[in-house]
Amino acid sequence: LKVNDLGHYVGLPKDALNLRMGQFELDLPFTQARSIDLTSYDIYSQASIAGAQGTATNPFMFGIPQRGIEIGGYPNDGNFNWSVAMVDGSNNGPAMRNSKDVYVRVSQLFNLERDPNVRKEVQASGPTGPRDHTSFRVGSFYYYGRNALFPNGTIALASGSSPIPDIHEPFYRFGADLRFKYRQFELYGLGMYGRDENHVLLTQNGTLTGVSAAAPVTFSGGFAQANYWVYPWVVALMRYDLVNSPTDFLNGASRFNTRNRVSPGMQFLIRANLKWNFEYNYRWQQPIPNSNQFFRLNGFETGFDYVF
């Protein structure tokens, strides 16, 4: 099977049913593992860590491969895609709890080619560069899990009291995505919202006395990217990442609740199997510890993609 840079299967039969087991990337709206970008999407790397704001410590990140099982496919003309997965939710590490998380994704592609015969053709690269159908795709996704803390009563209360029982903190992620393709131009992006239940540990005179519900850990954001093939061998890119996380702000990760990043880039196909990538990142302001000053961790990255 062939997969393009956005993780879409091309050249497949009319109907298909896919099954994956083991460690794999979720059926993300836009792949992280096979992305053409040098840096990852910020919203994909967002974890819910309450820090000083509570007990929520959820390592799950949307863009990291998970361990489990997934089934999905596309009926009829291949324009509708679906997938359902059950995974550990502990990224590419060992399972940290008994329960499994559930992930569901659906998408619909609208082929905008006027000629019905052209819509059925398989598009691919040619002498004038890459070519795909003019199309518009919309999709949505939902992820649900139950984080487990203090297993087997690992934190005891005051002397003579029973230990704190397991704390289960349900969490979810949901969002929508779109992709538009027209000749040498491509525009795509997604928006996502995340929410984790949270608790605080109650103390009295320095002694742990119980647990109480607290404000949930929430975040939202997404990204938008535009690609344009200036020449068949030159691609210009522009991406905007946005993450809004009040918890990260309270824990000192950024100057404001919202942090954003602008990433222009260029890619040059030197040979059929060799590509040279450039990307600049203009990042959000971060506080300097023990001061009233802030800095931006801007950066310039370059690299080569070599296929052999």
Q: Which two three-digit tokens encode residue 219?
A: 């975040």
How many residues comprise the chain? 308
pLDDT band at 117 (very low <50, low <70, confident <90, very high): low
Q: What is the DSSP letter of 258?
A: E
CA of residue 90 relative to chain centroid, distance: 14
Q: Which two three-digit tokens encode residue 70?
A: 């997934």
pLDDT band at 219 (very low <50, low <70, confident <90, very high): very high
* CA distance readout (Å), 281 to 122, 259, 270, 300: 35, 13, 24, 6
What pLDDT score does 9 carry?
A: 46
What pLDDT score does 239 carry?
A: 98
What pLDDT score does 82 carry?
A: 94
On average, the pLDDT of the chain sits at 86
- CB-based burial label for 43 (10 Å; 0-12, 13-18, 19+): buried
Q: Which two three-digit tokens encode residue 308?
A: 């052999």
CA dihedral of residues 230, 114, 1, 21 (deg, nearest 10):
110
CA of residue 254 relative to chain centroid, distance: 20
Model confidence at 128: pLDDT above 70: no
Mean pLDDT comparison of 3-17, 72-86, 218-232, highest-scoring range: 218-232
What is the model's pTM? Answer: 0.85
pLDDT band at 267 (very low <50, low <70, confident <90, very high): very high
Mean pLDDT of 148-171: 67
What three-state secondary structure class fits 117? helix
**Helix/strand/coil percent split, the chain, to 5:** 5, 55, 40
| Other CB atoms within 10 A of residue 292 CB | 6
Model confidence at 138: pLDDT above 90: yes
What pLDDT score does 74 carry?
A: 85
Q: Which two three-digit tokens encode residue 240?
A: 């905007």
Give the model confidence (pLDDT) of 222-254 as tens digits.
999 999 999 989 999 999 999 999 999 998 888
